[in-house]
Amino acid sequence: MIEALHINNLQSMKAFIGSHFMFNVLNQIQNRFLTGQTKEAVQVLSLYNKMLRHALNTSKTGMTSGTEEWKFLENYLISEQMRFQGDMQYHLTPELIEMGKMPAFILQPIVEATVHASLAIGHIANVQITFIKDAGGMLYQVRGSNTDQNIPEKYRENITRVKERIRIWNEHKMAPISLTENGDTRIIRMTL
Amino acid sequence: MGITAFIVDDELKSREVLKSLLETFCQEVQVVGMAGNIADSVEAIRKLNPQLVFLDISLKEGDSFQILAQLPKISFEIIFVTAYDEYSVRALKFSGIKCLFKPIDIDELIEAVEEVTSEPGRSNMAYELADGMIKSKFTRIPVITSGGLYFADINDILYFKKDTKGTLIKLVNGDSMLSEKKVHEFAAIILSDKFCQAGINLMVNRDKVIASLTRKDCLVFTNSVELKARPEEVKEVMNPA
């Protein structure tokens, strides 16, 4: 594999595994055990297990299937919803997708940034992620509810990291990926 | 007599768990209030005047330094809590401020409470120092000298060198500052790869070194400042691994 792409894959995986989010998941497990919510604790542990495995499985090639990425995204959203309880809603449309390979760690960091931008304004965060397949390829639309459009600085780094990943990917692959931002809506187009 | 404490965390469960851990393992601590956002925290801390405040660094709407900035005086001890925030933790450690990681380790919690209550009196300056570093993304580093607190732009620094009293910091304009911190402590908060640590006693801004004038035992800087150094230190600066 091209070295720059391989290094970027590992950096993206490290950024996810070592993220604030993953330690918050561990914290959630502790919280639920200590408050006697054993069933919920086991549920969060199961989500953590699935997300960690997904991250490790993608580390070699940096690729995943669209189906797996969608499940991974749902696991991520469920765990954030469990953490923030009534403060967050999400809609994944459609519920399942059946797609071929795509690069990992492009969609989730964008969704994470959008979730936290939406949470930052103090109302109930509402995040909608829509997948559309057309003749041009695959289109993922991530829409948040932060009309102020300011992403907290820590999560702005997610967008920067994805842009860099896309840049490296586009330098080395024939099928380009693009990310466009319009207010609190971000669109990723993959012509794979 | 117990220690009154206040908990700030944007997750309800985390607030409840920390309260429960304190009640079980730190019985001298009495939690007098909890809040989940900046405005409520500022109001409650002002009203309740606790002796100890647990602050989750990262809040949904910003960070807990915003709470400290809105208080006229920090007259309480602070233990910061974070899930994972490498840069903030570096700044807090450098400033001598206590920090716990989530999920909270009970032994570390007990130790932190004992430490802050047995050695009270961390100054407002410590929080100003940590906040300044984080806000500038470590492009400005704090130096406490006998004259007070300064924030030095890392681009204005030639080198850090061990001194009998701590570390001598040489600036581009020819001035020097003396800090009680050690060279390796500065190395932990300098994120720029322009700086090269040569052994444990020297850290140099490589961008300011004139390679063509540098000799075997002397580094020469862009403003003609010369620094005597051991050959292995010079070698390490000129040819970093």
Copy the structure tokens of residue B85.
């925030």
pLDDT exceeding 70 applies to what percent of chain A?
Answer: 97
Which CA distances in Å does B84 have to A27, A43, A135, A166? 11, 22, 42, 26
Domain map (residue ranges) of chain B:
3-134, 140-238
pTM of the model: 0.77
CATH number for the domain running over B3-134: 3.40.50.2300
The CATH number for A77's domain is: 3.30.565.10
CA dihedral B82, B88, B89, B93 (to 10 degrees): -130
Instruction: Check residue B122 and give its pLDDT.
Output: 67
Picking from A31, A87, A152, the nearest residue to B17 by CB comes out as: A31
Q: Say which residue the tokens 């009534």 belong to.
A: A86
Q: How many domains does chain A have?
A: 1
Is A191 or B76 the better-scoring residue by pLDDT? Answer: B76
CB–CB contact A26 B103 (8 Å): yes
To the nearest whole Å, the CA of B106 is away from the closest chain A CA by 12
Q: Is the pLDDT of residue A122 over 80?
A: no
To the nearest whole Å, the CA of A37 is away from the closest chain B CA by 11
Residues of chain B whose beta carbon is less than 8 angstroms from a beta carbon of chain A are 11-14, 16-17, 20-21, 37, 58, 60-62, 82-85, 101-104
Picking from A19, A23, A122, the nearest residue to B61 by CB comes out as: A122
Picking from B13, B62, B85, the nearest residue to A31 by CB comes out as: B13
Determine the 3-state secondary structure of B145 from DSSP: strand
Residue numbers of the domain that contains A17 = 2-191
Count Cβ–Cβ pairs < 8 Å, chain A vs chain B. 61
Q: Is the pLDDT of residue A1 over 60?
A: no
Q: Is A36 on the interface with B (CB under 8 A)?
A: no
pLDDT tens across A132-141, in order?
A: 988 878 899 9
Q: Mean pLDDT across the stretch A166-191?
A: 88
Chain B residue with the nearest C-alpha to that of A30? B103
The enclosing H or E element of B4 equals strand B3-8
Instruction: Check residue B241 and give its pLDDT.
Output: 63
Half-sphere exposure of A112 (CA within 13 A, CB side): 26
ipTM of the complex model: 0.71
Q: Say which residue the tokens 């581009």 belong to.
A: B172
What are the φ and ψ backbone dihedral angles of B56, each rounded to 5 degrees? -70, 125
Instruction: Check residue B1 and give its pLDDT.
Output: 64
What is the architecture of the domain spanning B140-238? Beta Barrel (2.40)
Contacts of residue B182, Cβ cutoff 8 Å, sequence gap at least 6: B162, B166, B167
Which residues of B fall within a CB distance of 8 Å from A16?
none
The gap between the terminal CA atoms of chain B, to the nearest Å, is 56
What are the φ and ψ backbone dihedral angles of A130, each rounded to 5 degrees? -125, 135
Q: Is the pLDDT of residue A31 over 80?
A: yes
Contact A83, A48 (CB under 8 A): no
Which residues of A fall within a CB distance of 8 Å from B58?
20, 154
Q: Give the closest residue to B64 by CA, choosing from B122, B147, B134.
A: B134
Instruction: Check residue A149 and give its pLDDT.
Output: 63
Q: Is the pLDDT of residue A184 over 80?
A: yes
Is B219 or A174 the better-scoring residue by pLDDT? Answer: B219
Length of chain B: 241
Determine the 3-state secondary structure of A66 from DSSP: helix
CB–CB contact A31 B21 (8 Å): no
Q: Is A19 on the interface with B (CB under 8 A)?
A: yes
Cα–Cα distance measured from residue A113 to residue A150, given in angstroms and rounded to the nearest whole number: 10
CB–CB contact A26 B102 (8 Å): yes
CB–CB contact B84 A19 (8 Å): yes
Low-confidence ranges of chain B (pLDDT < 70): 1, 121-124, 240-241
CB–CB contact A20 B101 (8 Å): no
pLDDT tens across A58-91, in order?
A: 887 888 888 899 999 999 999 999 988 888 999 9
Helix/strand/coil percent split, chain B, to 5: 35, 30, 30
